[in-house]
Amino acid sequence: MQTLSKHRWPAWLMWALAWGLMFVLDETVSLGSMALLLVLASALAALWSSASASLISSVLSVVLFNVLFVPPKFTFHVYFLQDYFLLITMLGVSVVVSSLMLRLRRAAEQERMHAMQSEQLRSLSEQLRENQDMAAHAQLLQGLMAAWGYPNARVEWHAQDALQAAGTSALAVRGKTQQFGWVQLGQHTQVHSGMAAEDVTTHLQALCDLLGLELERQQAIRSAKLANEEAQSQKLRNTLLTAIAHDYRTPLANLMGAASVIHDQGSRLPATRVSELSHTILDEAQQLNRMTSNTLQLARLDASSLDVRKDWESLQELVGSVIQKSKQRFGAAHFHIHMSPHLPLVYCDAILVVQLLENLIENAVKYSPATSRVEIQVTQPLPDQVRVSVRDQGPGIPDAWKKRVFDAFARVDASPLTFESQGDHTARRGVGLGLAVCRAIARVHDAKIWIEDAPQGGTAVCVAFPVRHQPEVADVMMGDTA
């Protein structure tokens, strides 16, 4: 800021104009009128003068007025009593008006400084909320300190004893419950007009306190987030343990039962019975493998360090391979496939997309009657989207569950189905992870997944993959050979 000494020329101009006008009007107007003109000049000059300069100029102006204009001129003597009263009144009014103008100017200056301080606090608060980096916080605070005359100020994130060792030239960065550091101010190189040194220090401490409160707020948010994540993790662990204890028990019991029968009575059992028991063991082992694979895959997809190996793939080929496996696994299932011609390539992880399709088809088979069919459609409804839709003819999913079924361990709480599933007695067993894995796979591919009602009844699960700029044929061939 600039000091008042650089802005006093308007005050000198007011005095010069007033005195020049009085010399012109001398002997033309009364002494009282010229005295009012001098009081006006004193009041206007006080807008740009300091308190001492305003007082001295008021006294000198009355003395000079007496010498130059009050008879007898060019002496300090006064002949008439009314002139004494005029000079005394003139001096008193001039001093009072100048004092009032000074007080008004100081109030305006304080209001301006308070507005600037409030704006600095507001701006600092916004910048602190936008950036949570401690180094950036320190730079912001040091920049404000430099603007207030402390260019060498530095922020130290030390313990409280460091502040005590720093002396009186340090300000604490503190919250409501703890101290985060301190600001070493250094030497003050600039004086601010209209503000006392203690007022400047109070404002700088307010800036430090604002930073301390913001750090405390960010710390509280992190603590709450960690506590929430811990609670969610604990809830997930408990749910997982409950699901494992409940859903793994049946296949394990069937495995143990079939294996013990073969072990104890294998020599006395007919070959057909041994084959049935062996088939049961294989089915239950595959069921356990699928549940374990989904559990591990979901944990892997939720990891922040997941390495997704994407490449340009043909959805027609991926869907075709999944259908072939599904026909072998679900021999009694009826599949109806519709693929639009000239579909673009999709940039994806083939292994993950295959697992997504397998889970969707498995769910459709589970909840379809034995005489119905499962429809798989691959279309391009929009230029930037390829959509895969798997439809069953089951009982459908209530609207309240159409989003919840994608949560881990979520299973629709509905009455038992009245039809016979296409699968065997293990068809609908699981821990409720299939669709959760599908949603996680869709998320890492920037794809959308949702459930809608099929036109002829049943449920359709749709996945929309984004279409990117298609690669050159040579690039695809190089990716295949790599």
The pTM assigned to this predicted structure is: 0.48
Which has the higher per-residue pLDDT, 284 or 52?
284
pLDDT digits (tens, 9 = 90+) for 74-108: 777 777 677 677 778 877 777 777 777 778 877 87
Which has the higher per-residue pLDDT, 429 or 9?
9
Average pLDDT on 109-131 reads: 82
Average pLDDT on 267-285 reads: 85
pLDDT at 259 over 60: yes
Look at residue 426 in the predicted model and tell me its pLDDT: 43
Mean model confidence pLDDT for the chain: 79
- 21's tokens: 């006008």
Look at residue 460 in the predicted model and tell me its pLDDT: 92
CA 128, CA 214: separation in Å to the nearest integer? 7
The percentage of residues in the chain with a pLDDT greater than 90, rounded to a whole number, is 13
Q: For residue 177, what pLDDT band results from cuts at 50, 70 and 90? A: confident
145 φ, ψ (degrees, to nearest 5): -60, -40
Look at residue 319 in the predicted model and tell me its pLDDT: 92
pLDDT digits (tens, 9 = 90+) for 199-247: 788 888 888 888 888 888 888 888 999 888 888 777 766 766 766 666 6
Look at residue 120 in the predicted model and tell me its pLDDT: 84
pLDDT digits (tens, 9 = 90+) for 15-36: 788 888 888 888 788 877 887 8
pLDDT at 376 over 90: yes
Look at residue 380 in the predicted model and tell me its pLDDT: 94
pLDDT digits (tens, 9 = 90+) for 284-341: 887 788 777 777 777 777 665 567 788 999 999 999 999 988 888 777 678 899 999 9
pLDDT at 191 over 60: no
- 366's tokens: 């589970």
Look at residue 140 in the predicted model and tell me its pLDDT: 84
CATH architecture of 311-414+428-481: 2-Layer Sandwich (3.30)
Domain boundaries, the chain: 4-109, 249-302, 311-414+428-481
CA 129, CA 126: separation in Å to the nearest integer? 5
pLDDT digits (tens, 9 = 90+) for 419-456: 333 444 444 455 567 888 899 889 889 999 999 988 87
